[in-house]
Structures are given as C-alpha cells and as structure tokens.
Amino acid sequence: MQLTPRPTGTPVTATYWASHAWLGTHVEAGVALDVAGGRFAAVRTGVETPPPGAVVLRGLTLPGLANTHSHAFHRALRSSVQVGAGTFWSWRELMYRVASLLTPDTYYELARATYAEMALAGITSVGEFHYLHHAPGGRPYDDPNAMGEALVAAAAEAGIRITLLDTAYLAAGFGEQPNRHQLRFSDTTADAWAERAAALRGGDHALIGAAVHSVRAVPADQLATVAAWAEERGAPLHVHLSEQTAENDACAAAHGCTPTRLLADHGVLGPRTTAVHSTHLTAEDIDLLGSSGTGTCMCPTTERDLADGIGPAAALQRAGSPLSLGSDSHAVIDLFEEARAMELDERLRTRVRGHWTADALLRAASADGHAALGRPDAGTLEPGAAADLTTIALDSVRTAGPVPRMAAQVAVFAASAADVRHTVVAGRHIVRDGRHTTVEDVPRALASAVAAVYR
Ligand SMILES: [Zn+2]
C-alpha cells in the first residue's frame, strides 16, 4: 500500500480556455484561465478563441465542486442496502457490518476508487468525516492513524483534495458504552482522541480537521475538548446534528435540551463549525445556528435514502448559516443532484418554487463548500484562488438545447455527474475528456475494491 501522499499541488503553469465559464453571477463566453503554482494567476474574459497552447475546455466551466460530507466506506453499501423495509436504524446495522470488515489496505483501495469517482463527478475537494479508526475490537493499529492516513493517501492517488475530519466517537448513546461495532470508532476519551488526531499529517492536498460524531457519541462534558482542539488549530469542526428525532428525544431525556442547545452551551458552534443534516430543528435551534455563523451541510440524496426527513435549509440560510452539500452515504455521487434536490425538496415541502437561484445553489456546491472544509481560497474562478475547476458538456442528451447564457440553470436542473468532461485540481488535469488520468479504469477499481471488502 502506498502511504506517502503524492502532492496534487506540483507547480503547474498552464492556460486553460473555457468556451463558457460561470463566474459566480453569470456565464461568460470565451474565458482564459492562466495557472501558475497551482493557483489562477489571471482570469481573462472576452477571449474569443483559444490562445496558442491553451488547453481547450468546451462546455460550461465551473469552480471545482466541494463534497463537504463523505464517509468513503459507505460506497460499498450502494444498492446492497436497497432491499426491504426499514428505517435509518436498520440501515445502520448493515453499515456497521461493512465497517467491521475493512482493513487499512482494503479501505485505501475503496477510498481511492471512490475519490476517483468523485473526480469524475467534478469534485475537487472532499470532507471525509472519518471515524473508523481502530482494528476490530478497538485495538489500535501499530500506526494509530493507519486508517486516516490511508484516506489521505487515497485522495492523493485520486488527484483530489481532502479535509480529513477526524471524528471523536466515544459512546453508543447518552451514558452508554460503545457497542461491539463501535469499539473500532472509539478512542475511549476525548483527550485520547485529541492526542491521536494531533499526530495526523496533512500535506499539500490534505487538511486535518475535527468532528464530533454527534451528541449521542460524545459525552457532553467532553465536547469542549474537541472544540478546543479545532480552535487551537483554526481547523474546521463538523458534527452530525438532529438527523433523527430519536436523537432529539434522547438528548431531551438526558440533558433537558435539544442537541443544538447542548452544542451551543459547550462551545461547539461558530463560523468554523458545520452542522451536517440539521433535519429536525426548533425555531430556537435555527436561531442558534444562524446567529453563531455555524454552517449547514445538507445531504439530500442520503437524507431521502435514509428516510430522515427534509431539513429547514432555507430558514437556516436566512438565519445566517452558509449552506454546503455532501454525498454522505454515496447512494449516488453527484453534486448537481444534491444541489437541485435541496431546492426541489423545499418545493415539495412548501408547494412554492424558486427558493434558491441556480447561482446560489452552485455557490453551495463550490465556494461555500470549500470554505466549510477550511479552504476559503477555493471554489471561485478568480485570480489568486486555487486552480480547481470542472467542465460539464453542454451538448449531451441532458444538457443540449438551452442557450449558453442559461448554462448555470442547465448545470443545476438538468446536468448529472455523467456530464463532467474535465476536472482540474491545483492546475493539474485530473479528468480529461471524461477519463481519469491517474486511475485508469475507475469502474473496475470500484468493482474490485468493493469485492475485496466482502471477501
Ligand atoms: Zn454522515
């Protein structure tokens, strides 16, 4: 297993020419993007023909997409969990079975293939919410961060950036010891978690952040330890929040308050924090999240897959919470689908159309997602920003027809991950003409990696 991250940020000097590019508020025809040292040195509009030597990007070029919430190993669950009736909690038993099978080697292969799938979907940065830390039974590996380092290496090999959100997961529920599956997740105390997480190495392509799995999994008196660890490092801090009403009920029984209130009282909320799901909230919760500047990551394809419910994304944003998007359980990996699902879910709930513009939904999938992953310098096509972009075809069966100035609407409301033609990370051409440049056959890599997990 290759565990030395290969830098994705090897200095690249190049010019890309986009036939059309989305510049945050509108689509421009003929945009030249000069790259130096992994960043955009210049973004020139009105360039009608490709400059000599430029790499031509036909279609709509967007900033690289940010997949703000991922559990890479859930990719092995795709389809196999679509049988029979059940709830989030019965799905979780199936998920635990896969978690019990993984080793650092098989997880590396699975994550490499999954992250390559992400690159093919236009994703240039992933937030990996990582809690599968230890060997079965909870025994630490010789390298206590073998699993996390495998994920960092996998992202490097797949050519995308990662923010490894090393997750504190210490309990099965309020006052409950971890069950036999959860022993792999637990460092036993937040102090032990902090010590192990502090040894993680980042890299050019990898940032290290923190996560509280949920208020169920980290005892209230240890939440501040995780928050302080992130604070000291200026690192992103993520937390699953109120995905299920059972969590709210258990929190009320144990602490007499909502999970959001518990997090607020222990210093977990703030502008570096992102709450994931935020499905079942009170009006006070929405106010606490918004007024503290805590971000919200919606994962609509997972939330509908797991029968969670529809979170109040529009109200959260109005209250001051920036929105981002994640593919979470990887039922599908398609940020265009996540973006349109957030809008369409809100339409179903309210019977009103048009809660977000296409521009606003693309910002959630790009700049605001990257910011939630600790990269405020990524997610825009602007001079000085990280040279990360993706290009979708405007001539596929899904996207052909509308005039190019409507291309942002096409991206959000009609395109799919299958329309991605190019992905560039730090100036490097990772996906070219729909093919991954470093992982030769991604479907085969996925098939063999998933088979190896179950072997
Ligand atoms: Zn999750």
The DSSP line for 444-455 is HHHHHHHHHHH-
pLDDT score recorded for residue 348: 97
The token duo for 351 is 């019977």
pLDDT score recorded for residue 11: 52
Question: Is the Cα dihedral 83, 86, 87, 88 positive or negative?
Answer: negative
Q: Which residue has the tokens 């240890």?
A: 222
CA of 293 to the centre of ligand 1 (A): 21
CA of 17 to the centre of ligand 1 (A): 37
Q: Quick check: 7 and 352 in contact, CB under 8 A?
A: no
Q: Which residue has the tokens 């209250």?
A: 319
pLDDT score recorded for residue 6: 43
pLDDT score recorded for residue 73: 96
128 has which bridge partners? 70, 164
Choice among 71, 277, 330, 422 that is catalytic = 277
Q: Quick check: 420 and 123 in contact, CB under 8 A?
A: no
Annotated active-site residue 355? The verdict is no
CA of 383 to the centre of ligand 1 (A): 33
Q: Quick check: 268 and 227 in contact, CB under 8 A?
A: yes
CA of 69 to the centre of ligand 1 (A): 6
Measure the CA–CA gap between 56 and 15, rounded to whole angstroms: 9
CA of 352 to the centre of ligand 1 (A): 29
Write the CB contacts of 241 (distance below 8 Å, at least 6 apart in sequence): 214, 215, 259, 260, 263, 275, 276, 277, 278
Q: Given its phi and psi angles, is residue 30 left (phi above 0), alpha (psi -120 to 50 degrees) or beta? A: left
CA of 138 to the centre of ligand 1 (A): 21
Residue type, 144: P
Nearest to 299 by CA among 282, 287, 311, 284: 311
Measure the CA–CA gap between 218 and 256, rounded to whole angstroms: 16
Q: Which residue has the tokens 């990582």?
A: 130
CA of 70 to the centre of ligand 1 (A): 6
> pTM of the predicted model, to two decimals?
0.96
pLDDT score recorded for residue 91: 87
The token duo for 408 is 């942002």
CA of 269 to the centre of ligand 1 (A): 18
CA of 59 to the centre of ligand 1 (A): 33
Q: Quick check: 326 and 297 in contact, CB under 8 A?
A: yes
Choice among 166, 305, 328, 368 that is catalytic = 328
Q: What is the pLDDT along the chain (455 residues), one digit of tens a residue?
A: 444 444 444 457 899 999 999 999 999 999 999 999 999 999 999 999 999 999 999 999 999 999 999 999 999 999 888 888 888 888 898 899 899 999 999 999 999 999 999 999 999 999 999 999 999 999 999 999 999 999 999 999 999 999 999 999 999 999 999 999 999 999 999 999 999 999 998 988 999 999 999 999 999 999 999 999 999 999 999 999 999 999 999 999 999 999 999 999 999 999 999 999 999 999 999 999 999 999 999 999 999 999 999 999 999 999 999 999 999 999 999 999 999 999 999 999 999 999 999 999 999 999 999 999 999 999 999 999 999 999 999 999 999 999 999 999 999 999 999 999 999 999 999 999 999 999 999 999 999 999 999 98
pLDDT score recorded for residue 90: 86
Q: Which residue has the tokens 């993984």?
A: 102
Phi, psi of 417 (to 5 degrees): -55, -25
CA of 303 to the centre of ligand 1 (A): 10
CA of 299 to the centre of ligand 1 (A): 8
Q: Quick check: 245 and 280 in contact, CB under 8 A?
A: yes
Question: Is the Cα dihedral 153, 154, 158, 163 positive or negative?
Answer: negative
Nearest 5°: the CA angle 267, 92, 67 is 60
Measure the CA–CA gap between 358 and 350, rounded to whole angstroms: 19
CA of 220 to the centre of ligand 1 (A): 20
CA of 185 to the centre of ligand 1 (A): 14
b/e sequence 423-439, b meaning 16+ C-beta within 10 Å: bbbbbbbbbeeeebebb
Annotated active-site residue 328? The verdict is yes
**DSSP designation for 266:** T
CA of 130 to the centre of ligand 1 (A): 9
All structural domains of the chain, each given as residue ranges with its CATH number in brackets, are 14-62+379-436 (2.30.40.10), 65-372 (3.20.20.140)
CA of 75 to the centre of ligand 1 (A): 12
Q: Quick check: 313 and 346 in contact, CB under 8 A?
A: yes
Q: Quick check: 421 and 434 in contact, CB under 8 A?
A: yes
Separation of CA 134 from chain center? 23
Alpha helix (H) residue ranges in 102-208: 104-120, 146-158, 190-198
Pairing label, strands 428-432, 420-425: antiparallel
CA of 76 to the centre of ligand 1 (A): 15
